[in-house]
A = this chain, B = another copy of it.
Amino acid sequence: DQPLTLFAGMNVLESAELADEIASAFVEATSALGMPYVFKASFDKANRSSINSYRGPGLEKGLTMLADIKSRYGVPVLTDVHETWQAEAAAEVCDVIQLPAFLARQTDLVVAMAKTGAVINVKKPQFLAPHEMRHIIRKCEEAGNDKVLLCERGSCFGYNNLIVDMLGFGEMKAMNAPVIFDVTHSLQRPGGRADSADGRRQQVAELARAGVAIGLAGLFLETHPDPDHALCDGPCALPLAQLPAFLAQVKALDDLVKGFPTLDIA
């Protein structure tokens, strides 16, 4: 059992300055704790509720910002891709490329991403049972890539609500792929605001602790220095000022549970 890796940063790239502020805070906090870290940011939010919502700097500018973070801080970087033609360019810069939940069943996108040879972070669709994730792993394998991460981000629970099935983590761990937990998107209330999702960031520590206590390969997290003015998903974001205190809890918990023996229950 390896220690927990943190895949974290910001939702959408708002500016190079903000990306730098956030990366810097994460690098400092994670190195203090000896926690492996991957910087995450999106260059495009391709499925906002409203056509007028901020989408991001786009592929080219976004990858430049990510390359800057990567070289300045010496950390691996992650971004999500939405169309087949973006996969190769994204993988030239990014160590991990992410398959969005709504798109996780699109065969052409899966194959294009797999062929880059990058690590693929597959967000579990809100409409999919944990056991169905093996189909996506197999699609990647058949395209020649077995470096797949499985990422929980909540399941549909009635309308406008998500719920995390803690028993799903165990089902996915049995597929022999590292399982990570996107805690901030799991806090969403989809459609909860007039033209965007609402969220429950007040409960981020509780939910993260519940997941980490299972024993996970990684935690996925979005932050913002001023969540009320974030350009996307602020209602779910961890306030950046809370990062060290938050990570200290996560780290202590992970250290504890990774030392537990497995109970042998038939």
For A203, the chain B residues whose CB sits under 8 A away are 167, 170
Mark out the residues of chain A between 39 and 62 whose CB falls within 8 Å of any chain B CB in the assembled complex.
46-52, 55
Residue of B nearest to A53 (CB): B107
Are A105 and B49 within 8 A (Cβ)?
A: yes
Are A167 and B131 within 8 A (Cβ)?
A: no
CA distance A253 to B254 in the complex (A): 10
Are A210 and B166 within 8 A (Cβ)?
A: yes
A32 at the interface (CB under 8 A from B): no
CA distance A55 to B157 in the complex (A): 31
A169 at the interface (CB under 8 A from B): yes
Q: How far is the CB of A56 from chain B (nearest CB, A)?
A: 12
Are A200 and B167 within 8 A (Cβ)?
A: yes
A132 at the interface (CB under 8 A from B): yes
The listed residue (B138, B202, B205) touching A50 by CB distance below 8 A is B138
Are A256 and B252 within 8 A (Cβ)?
A: yes
For A205, the chain B residues whose CB sits under 8 A away are 260, 263, 265
For A165, the chain B residues whose CB sits under 8 A away are 157, 163
In the complex with contacts A102-B106, A169-B206, A156-B127 CB distance below 8 A = yes
In the complex with contacts A102-B105, A107-B46, A111-B51, A129-B167 CB distance below 8 A = no
Are A195 and B135 within 8 A (Cβ)?
A: yes
Name which of A3-11, A90-98, A242-250 contacts chain B.
Answer: A242-250
